[in-house]
Amino acid sequence: MTIPIALTIAGSDSSGGAGIQADLKTFAACSVYGASVITALTAQNTCGVADVHVVPAEFVTAQLDAVLSDLDVRAVKTGMVARSDIIDAIVAALSRWSPPNLVVDPVMIATSGDALLTPEAIATLRETLLPRARLITPNLPEAARLLGDAIAAGESDIERQGRALLALGCEAVLIKGGHDTGAESTDYLFDGRGIERFSAPRVATSNTHGTGCTLASAIAAYLARGEALSAAVRRAKDYVTAAIAAADRLAVGRGNGPVHHFYALD
């Protein structure tokens, strides 16, 4: 049996709800073999981030070369990249090995509100990593911060910011509407040809830790399986919506708990 392989490049969440742990759970749930490159170790739980230990850029390079020289990686997802030198190491490795289907989740702030990307690294992310991406998946605050703009107040603002992000050089942009309000959560896909909307009922739960990681990883998984971009986004949206809807079945921690990655096994 040949199984598609996806690679996550991200930080470790010691509580298991986000980051590398969420990515690998998502890959498994979507029938993809997951490999990982760790950029940072976080001491965190459902209530917040207590400490961060950033992995040296040289060791990030060693991990990337070890994986990409051996495994037939069909999609790469990046999450927490922490610092400019780590972003430089990632870009250099991607240039050396040219794996397809780069999905960039521009992680800047944890669900708890803790910063996960240094301010000076935002420009490096925008200028060097985003232009290589097949898809970037910012939420509303991340889209605004990447552009130095105010958070979008409505669909016209989202459309304007989506076009501006697309102009940074990536192939497509998915602006996530989870931070918006209303009965439905709508994500907006910009691919240079038009706008496609993906809507789902908004789930009333505080257990949303790792939703952004999970969505981006699910998209990467379906791209690794050969899906077209729009179909991959649709299937990933359906998966994460169901994982959020099932989150309250779990009782993990005292804060913002994780989504239920393996709801289908209950």
**Residue among 34, 78, 213, 241 flagged as catalytic:** 213
Cβ atoms of 185 and 177 within 8 Å: the answer is yes
Length of the chain as a residue count: 266
CA 66 to mean position of chain CA atoms: 22
**Residue among 11, 162, 212, 257 flagged as catalytic:** 212
Is 213 annotated in the active site?
yes
Is 211 annotated in the active site?
yes
**Residue among 176, 186, 241, 257 flagged as catalytic:** 176
Is 11 annotated in the active site?
no
Show the tokens assigned to 103: 């999905």
**Residue among 210, 237, 241, 257 flagged as catalytic:** 210
Q: The sheet that has 73-78: what strands, in order across it? A: 48-54, 33-45, 5-13, 73-78, 102-104, 135-136, 173-175, 184-190, 195-201
**Residue among 26, 78, 186, 211 flagged as catalytic:** 211
The candidate with the shortest Cα–Cα distance to 134, out of 191, 211, 187, 96, is: 191
Is 30 annotated in the active site?
no
Torsion of CA 69, 71, 73, 77, to 10 degrees: -80
Buried b vs exposed e over 27-49: b needs ≥16 C-beta within 10 Å?
bebbebbbbbbbbbbbebbbeeb
**Residue among 111, 208, 214, 241 flagged as catalytic:** 208
Three-state SS at 135: strand
> The dihedral of CA 188, 191, 195, 197: what is its sign?
negative
The candidate with the shortest Cα–Cα distance to 253, out of 13, 41, 25, 24, is: 13
Is 118 annotated in the active site?
no
Is 79 annotated in the active site?
no
Which residues are identified as catalytic? 176, 208, 210-213
